[in-house]
Amino acid sequence: MLAFAQSDIGMVRKTNEDSYVFLPPHLFVVADGMGGHVAGEIASNLGANTIQEYIERNSPPAEWEQSLQAAIVQANTRIYQMSQAKSECQGMGTTVTAVYLENEEIYWGHVGDSRLYLIRENKLHQITNDHSLVWELMQNGSITSEEAQAHPHRNILTRAVGTSDTLSVDSGKFLWQPGDNLLLCTDGLTNMLSEETILSICLQPSSPQTIIKTLVDQARQAGGYDNITAILLQNRD
């Protein structure tokens, strides 16, 4: 497996509220924080670190999918408790998209609008669903995918880690095949680049480092209105 991760502040934001975990060959997480002042940065860092600590402390579990769910729920509890205890952190939260690789199995857990993509046989498959108002509007046919890309409310989340004392976590698993690529990314990438552009860059016969740097550079050139974080895994020797 080849892998690379990068987080970039973008062209507009004064702080980077994204966080990530990059522990090849097993654990990978992206988190996009939200909240006033530094609260978003605190939430994403606390979320990512809690997941890493939980997985390391409870390894190996009976079932990795359930373990990722439990790790994200624990992150939710810690972020919510801090938001209640500190006025400057009130209302903070974060997205989380986490992947654990065990042999040929990919296990994932997800909350929010960061994304996990599978690139297989020259096609881009979005594994996760966005927990956002715009995603719901698109799913019920109220708007098209093209309209969703520029919708004024595309940043409104319907579910996030740390904003409530309870949380429902999406999760799943699938087999990783030779030649597959996995892309974890925050919406600072997907709001700037179309899926067609993302796919064309990921299909280049290049290293993960070169591909990730190209994705980030093009997102910045497209406006870079948000922080940009991406992790690419290539299933090859």
Using alpha carbons, select from 175, 195, 42, 33 the residue that is nearest to residue 114.
33
Query: 99 near 107, Cβ under 8 Å?
Result: yes
Domain chopping of the chain, boundaries: 2-234
Query: 180 near 235, Cβ under 8 Å?
Result: yes
Cα gap 213→137, rounded to integer Å: 32
How high is the pLDDT of residue 133? Answer: 83
DSSP per-residue letters across 23-57: ETTTEEEEEEEESTTTHHHHHHHHHHHHHHHHHHH
Give residue for tokens 């550079």.
217
CATH top-level class for 2-234? alpha beta
Determine the straight-line distance between the first and last CA of the chain, rounded to whole angstroms. Answer: 6
How high is the pLDDT of residue 44? Answer: 97
- Burial (0-12, 13-18, 19+ Cβ within 10 Å), 209: middle
How high is the pLDDT of residue 138? Answer: 72
How high is the pLDDT of residue 146? Answer: 64
- Contacts with 42 (C-beta within 8 Å, 6 or more apart), sequence order: 33, 35, 82, 89, 92
How high is the pLDDT of residue 134? Answer: 80
Q: Fill in the amino acid letter for 109.
A: G
Using alpha carbons, select from 191, 169, 149 the residue that is nearest to residue 75.
169
How high is the pLDDT of residue 102? Answer: 92
Using alpha carbons, select from 123, 104, 230, 105 the residue that is nearest to residue 172.
105
pLDDT by position in tens, the chain (length 237): 999 999 999 999 999 999 999 999 999 999 999 986 679 999 999 999 999 999 999 877 678 999 999 999 999 999 999 999 999 899 999 999 999 999 899 999 999 999 999 999 999 999 999 998 887 787 777 776 666 666 666 678 999 999 999 999 999 999 999 999 999 999 999 999 999 999 999 999 999 999 999 999 999 999 999 999 999 999 986
Give residue for tokens 């973008």.
10
Query: 190 near 117, Cβ under 8 Å?
Result: no
